Amino acid sequence: MFSLGDLIDDRYEVVGQLGQGGMAHVFRARDRHLEREVALKVLRPHLAESDSHRFRREIQALARFDHPGIVSIFDLGLGSYVYFVMELIEGGPFTDLGPLEYDAQSLESLLGAAITVADALAYVHRLGMVHRDITPRNILLTHENHPKVMDFGLVQLTEASQHLTRTGMTLGTPHYMSPEQARGEGTGAQTDLYSFGVVLYRTVTGQFPFDAENDQAVLYKHVYDTLIPADELNPSVPRELSELISSLLEKDPAHRPSSAAAFADSLRSVQAEAIRRSTHLPHGGTSRSGYYAIGPSRPQLLERLWQVSVNEGPQWPAGVGAAQGYILLGLRSDEAVALRAADGAVVGSFTVPDEVSSAPLYSNGRLYILSRDGGVFAVSWPKGDPLWSNRDLDAVGLQPHGDRLLVTSGQGALVCFAKDLEPLWRYEAGSPATTPPVVHRGAAAFATADGWLHLVDTVTGGGKLKIEVGALLTAPVASAGVLLLPVRTGELHGFDIVKREVLWTYDVDGEIYGAPAVWDGRGYLSSWGRTLHCVSLRSGDDLWEATLDAPITASPVVAAGVVYVVTENGEVLAYDARCGEKLWRERISHAPIQASPLPLGSRLIVASLDGTVTAFG
């Protein structure tokens, strides 16, 4: 139809092809008048009148819309060729946001995008229209992961009674079609909600809710098969979100949410609760990215709210955790304590046989405490009643995964416990584990003393990948399919899980004891070499660095666009996470700080080795 360099209506220069279908070609073009790149959708010549009518209906529909979640139309051509010009969306489909990980970044990105789409559908429905073909390819992402609903070729007025058919089947995409579409019945706003439920299900789990070898079998399953809840396929999916997605996939339209607007409101509630609970997990979630969705927004204004002393403080690798608004400390004095966030008062103390070697972990109504001798102890929260203990695991690290608990062992194993704390499976690594497990994209990653990294399927316990990387003293960090591997001797590797290759290696001065933090495509790494480094997650290139007055043992953390780091001389510092500008600096003790600071709402909690605990706000 058009070739590279062709000029359309003396304005749009074709610079490439984006795609084509039975009805139209889509080109990448440069608008010479406004000096910007656009997408150009051009109707194929000599089409049947019904297809031409459908194309014009899409133009008319888009021209009426003005919503940030819907692709914008810029121009219309009705000359030699019928075309329309729209904004160029260069990201991938909506499903690129998944599978869902239980960490603040993944939850923020996916749930925020889902809310935008639900709001866009609510807007369309308020205009009395139905999209009728909601699929991942019709919800494209910008580079900032902002979704845009597009391709309104099947849009229909809700009061219309005429149905478009193709070989006896209602138009649409079978995997995403509602039961009423499959039966050839009338469609309405609930139809779009069902299709969006399929999109969400596939995004969070990586699988279709109903799949088969051919279209007719898929449609049959939409009508008759029972849905497997999303959280059964992916334990990282919060139960509330899984139930909400299931409500979209009800067979009877009357049992689905009353409207897209009501669904958006429910999503906001799930988002708020999920982000609040993400503070319960070490370093912000199962991927251990070190990112917290909520934190002090202006560190320059931070002041001490209270300061208390406890029996010694957290010693590396122990740290600070949270449980339903309370602060949890694992101490080197053989106990874990719970502090009231309001004033730092001790409200609970739990004695264990040896020094606590990680931040106490709250999950599913239980508090898990790991002692340096390898024992794991579970108590009820907040009552503190003993529930379970295992002194024979020789545990190295813990990680909740939905209702399950993953434990790495000095015996060279990764063990998965069910909700009732009975073992489900055991993976033998052949060498003692040295790090806690990290869960990302259906795999648990951990390092062993012989320098190997193991990736294990979290459902079956089967080995997925094993690579030699060197000695790791701290857990890997995962983000967007990339594992950051901090080798003790001062190397940071970026490893692509899908390609199974090292993307880059970054060298630092001094040994690495703390895990990196990841946020917005950036990695933050500190070491014994007294420098905080910021590197590109994809390339490993230097973005900025800051020199400190003392070595760093603890992992940095990121919240509200600020990276916080603590040092061996008792200081806590804040830097602009984008440019590295120093924003704040405070000394809380003359003793070292070896536990990462904890952003907790609008507060920042810091605990030093001598037992000084300070809340800033």
Just list the catalytic residues.
133
The angle, 0 to 180 degrees and rounded to 10, between the axes of the packed helices 189-205 and 239-248 is 140
Cis before 597 (ω within 30):
no
Q: Give the Cα separation of 118 and 554 in Å (integer).
A: 40
- DSSP characters over 366-393: EEEEEBTTS-EEEEETTT--EEEEESSS
Joined tokens for residue 357: 């070697």
Cα(first)–Cα(last) distance of the chain, in Å? 62
- Mark 21-37 as b/e (b = at least 16 C-beta within 10 Å): eebbbbbbbbbeeeeee
Handedness of CA 51, 55, 60, 65 (dihedral sign): positive
Question: Contact 439/448 with Cβ under 8 angstroms?
Answer: no
Q: Nearest 10 degrees: CA dihedral of 416, 475, 591, 508? A: 170
Q: Give the Cα separation of 181 and 191 in Å (integer).
A: 8
Please report where in the chains the tokens 């220069």 appear, as a residue: 13
Identity of the amino acid at 272:
A
Task: Kindly give, in sequence order, each residue whose CB lies less than 8 Å from that of residue 204, ignoring residues fewer than 6 positions away.
Answer: 98, 99, 100, 110, 230, 234, 237, 241, 242, 245
557-559 and 291-292 strand pairing: parallel
Joined tokens for residue 446: 């951990």
Q: Strand pairing partners for 496?
A: 482, 501
If residue 223 lies in a helix (H) or strand (E), which one and from where to where? helix 215-224
Q: Give the Cα separation of 274 and 215 in Å (integer).
A: 36
Question: Contact 220/199 with Cβ under 8 angstroms?
Answer: no
Backbone angles phi, psi at 150, to 5 degrees: -145, -175
Q: Give the Cα separation of 8 and 10 in Å (integer).
A: 5
Q: Give the Cα separation of 155 and 513 in Å (integer).
A: 56
Length of the chain: 617
